[in-house]
Amino acid sequence: MKRLEGKVAIITGAANGQGVAEAKLFASEGAKVIVTDIDEVGVKKTAIEISNLGGSAFPLQHDVSLEEDWKIVVKTSIEQFGRVDILINNAGIPSRKNVEEETVEEWDKVQAVNSRSVFLGMKYTVPEIRKVGGGSIINVSSVYGIIGVKGYAAYHASKGAIRVLTKTAAMDFAKDLIRVNSIHPGIIETAMTEDLYADEETLNWLKDVTPWPRLGKPEDVAYGALFLASDESTFITGSELVIDGGWIAH
């Protein structure tokens, strides 16, 4: 039996990178997926690719920082597939400035897209997940939600917020059999990090701080999310799954 047979998942940030990998993997494991992204063309492409592979997906353009957009996403999920079992709060944007360099406007935008979106996603999906007797919420943070490096002030703050908010929500909704966990990727090869991989000095540094003999791929994160979404993890909530090739182990 497929690991997500009969389940419905909402996956944000599904126009590229980790979101695409998660959506394709979940669909291959039997889930029906609502795929969302601010990039309408990209997320429609994801849905078409899933359909061509024999899966079931419905795309939506979605600004994850907006409450009204979240209401539409959840309503559409019910209209299209009748339920919600799983939420992956995957969407996010980077910022590589330190506290002095960061502007208030940039700070607010990063918090809105990266952490307010997690609050809104949980707020509007929890009632529907409760109706089906429980499920799984997976909030994608970062190793930078656990450790710090120079710069990245707004980004680190947003990812740290996700980490602790996840634990609070896990305690709040355990009685409803809703598991809430966070994933903390290292540097994964996506469009968001392609400039880091393109810079030889930075790439060598990344290889040096990663004990595993390769760097991360979107599929590495997707398989971690699959475990947390499946019934194999029904005693895991409020936890942090670090997927970083051993980076923060030292």
**200 belongs to a structural domain:** yes
Residue range 11-22: mean pLDDT, rounded: 96
pLDDT at residue 126 tops 80? yes
**248 belongs to a structural domain:** no
Q: What is the pLDDT of residue 22?
A: 98
Residue range 23-52: mean pLDDT, rounded: 98
Residue 23 belongs to domain spanning: 8-240
**226 belongs to a structural domain:** yes
**2 belongs to a structural domain:** no
- Nearest Cα residue to 64 out of 128, 19, 17, 8: 19
Does the annotation mark 155 as catalytic? yes
- The tokens describing 65, both together, are 């920082």
Handedness of CA 19, 22, 26, 28 (dihedral sign): positive
**118 belongs to a structural domain:** yes
**250 belongs to a structural domain:** no
**136 belongs to a structural domain:** yes
Selected catalytic residue, list 152, 155, 197, 223: 155
Residue range 27-50: mean pLDDT, rounded: 98
What's the whole-number average pLDDT of the chain? 94
Q: What is the pLDDT of residue 12?
A: 98
Residue range 12-25: mean pLDDT, rounded: 96
Q: What is the pLDDT of residue 105?
A: 97
Q: Which helix (H) or strand (E) holds 37?
A: strand 32-37
CATH of the domain at 208: 3.40.50.720
Residue positions counted in the chain: 250
- The tokens describing 78, both together, are 């019910």
Q: Mind listing the pLDDT tens digit for each residue in 67-113?
A: 999 999 999 999 999 999 999 999 999 998 999 999 999 999 999 99
Report, in this order, helix, strand and coil percent for the chain, each rounded to 5.
Answer: 50, 15, 30
Q: What is the pLDDT of residue 187?
A: 82
Q: What is the pLDDT of residue 200?
A: 79
Strand order in the sheet with 56-61: 56-61, 32-37, 8-11, 86-89, 135-140, 178-185, 240-243
How is residue 115 annotated by DSSP?
Answer: I
Query: Residue 199 pairs with which residues in a beta bridge?
Result: none
Domains of the chain: total: 1
| CA dist., res. 62 & res. 56, Å (int) | 19
Query: Residue 11 pairs with which residues in a beta bridge?
Result: 35, 88
Share of the chain above pLDDT 70, in %: 97
- 8-12, 138-142, 245-249: the lowest-pLDDT one: 245-249
Q: What is the pLDDT of residue 189?
A: 83
pLDDT at residue 24 tops 70? yes
Q: Mind listing the pLDDT tens digit for each residue in 188-238?
A: 887 766 776 677 787 787 888 889 988 889 999 999 999 999 999 999 999
Give the up-direction half-sphere exposure of residue 121: CA atoms within 13 A in the CB hemisphere.
35
**246 belongs to a structural domain:** no
- The tokens describing 166, both together, are 């996840």
Q: What is the pLDDT of residue 42?
A: 97
Q: What is the pLDDT of residue 188?
A: 85
